[in-house]
């Protein structure tokens, strides 16, 4: 048997793909796996902030096209990069156990967010991160930060920014967590829907791939991220807007607890909702309706409440 995986060229994307391959080959030692490196639009355009690029699937579209064409069998994505609108010819074959979903502050000189001096320069390409940081520290100056994890890390350690914020999962997967100055709590900074989770995508009719990938499935993680993504879809927002969501699953009671936020870009206003339920899709949709009733739509479009 053989599986060919599409992967982006970054060190993190390669590591994530190789981790999946190792897990599969531990289960099936005779399984042959191959990587096919494919650049996405998000990889090619690195001189502009992500919100300015716009569009869906900035880091996934070319990989999905390679799967559909038969060039590859599957692709390993950071789940938070996948648009909520899925191609019916494709399927997320498995979602492994989630890594740490927290965001992390990196700084060469300062120990935490509160210690940053007045008007410190904070680097991030995420409106979600900048909005929540400004809610805590409205004096901060936000400066766009693009590039691979190692590139962004080097910029912070060289002092080009007073601090930057990165997803903790990527740092852990690359063995770079020793550079973390502060692990931000969920009260400080709720993560992006799906942050810390991987999604292995394949063709919906590829039974061979689906049977192999099923062994890596972690059901609680799938339920949690399904609720988070349902909230994102219900709000009608993409991955580049200031929307945050995080769910935890109580397997004993069969309940999913979902917390979500919609934040104004300047951090001045925030709508926060939470609820629990047994059905992930219904829970996320219900919470989105609650947020919209409280004015989330106006926050996302930058309108003032009437």
Residues annotated as part of the active site:
81
- Neighbouring CB atoms inside 10 A of 183's CB total 15
DSSP annotation of 148 reads -
| Residue partners of 18: CB distance under 8 A and separation at least 6 | 35
**How many Å apart are CA 247 and CA 111, to the nearest integer?**
28
∠ Cα 285 291 293 (to 5°): 105
> Taking Cα atoms as reference points, which of 286, 209, 184, 199 lies closest to residue 33?
209
Sheet holding 74-78, edge to edge: 32-37, 2-7, 74-78, 198-203, 90-94
Give, to the nearest 10 degrees, the angle between helix 149-157 and helix 11-27: 130
- Give the span between the Cα atoms of 274 and 298, in whole angstroms: 19
Q: Are 20 and 83 in contact (CB under 8 A)?
A: no
CA distances to 150, 161, 230, 236 from 9, in Å:
13, 25, 29, 30
Residue 157 backbone dihedrals phi, psi, to 5 degrees? -70, -25
């Amino acid at each position: 048997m053989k599986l060919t995986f599409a992967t982006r060229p970054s060190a993190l994307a390669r590591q994530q793909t190789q981790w999946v391959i190792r897990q599969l080959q531990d289960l099936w030692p005779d399984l042959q796996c191959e990587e096919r490196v494919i650049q996405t639009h998000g990889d090619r355009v690195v001189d502009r902030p992500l919100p300015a690029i716009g569009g869906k699937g900035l880091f996934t579209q070319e990989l999905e096209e390679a799967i559909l064409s038969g060039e590859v069998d599957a692709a390993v994505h950071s789940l938070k990069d996948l648009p909520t609108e899925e191609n019916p010819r494709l399927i997320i074959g498995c979602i492994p156990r989630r890594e740490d979903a927290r965001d992390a502050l990196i700084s060469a000189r300062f120990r935490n967010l509160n210690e940053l001096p007045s008007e410190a320069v904070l680097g991030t390409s995420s409106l979600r991160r900048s909005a929540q940081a400004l809610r805590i520290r409205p004096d901060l100056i936000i400066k766009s930060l693009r590039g691979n994890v190692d590139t962004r890390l080097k910029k912070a350690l060289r002092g080009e920014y007073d601090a930057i914020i990165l997803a903790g999962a990527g740092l852990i997967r690359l063995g770079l967590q020793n550079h973390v100055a502060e692990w931000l709590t969920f009260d400080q900074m709720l993560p992006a829907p799906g942050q810390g989770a991987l999604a292995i995508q394949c063709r919906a009719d590829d039974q061979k791939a689906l049977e192999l990938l099923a062994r890596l499935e972690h059901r609680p993680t799938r339920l949690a991220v399904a609720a988070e993504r349902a909230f994102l879809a219900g709000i009608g927002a993409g991955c580049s807007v200031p929307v945050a969501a995080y769910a935890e699953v109580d397997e004993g009671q069969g309940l999913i607890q979902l917390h979500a936020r919609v934040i104004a870009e300047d951090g001045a206003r925030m709508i926060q909702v939470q609820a629990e339920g047994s059905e992930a899709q219904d829970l996320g949709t219900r919470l989105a309706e609650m947020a919209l009733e409280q004015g989330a739509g106006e926050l996302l479009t930058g309108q003032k409440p009437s």
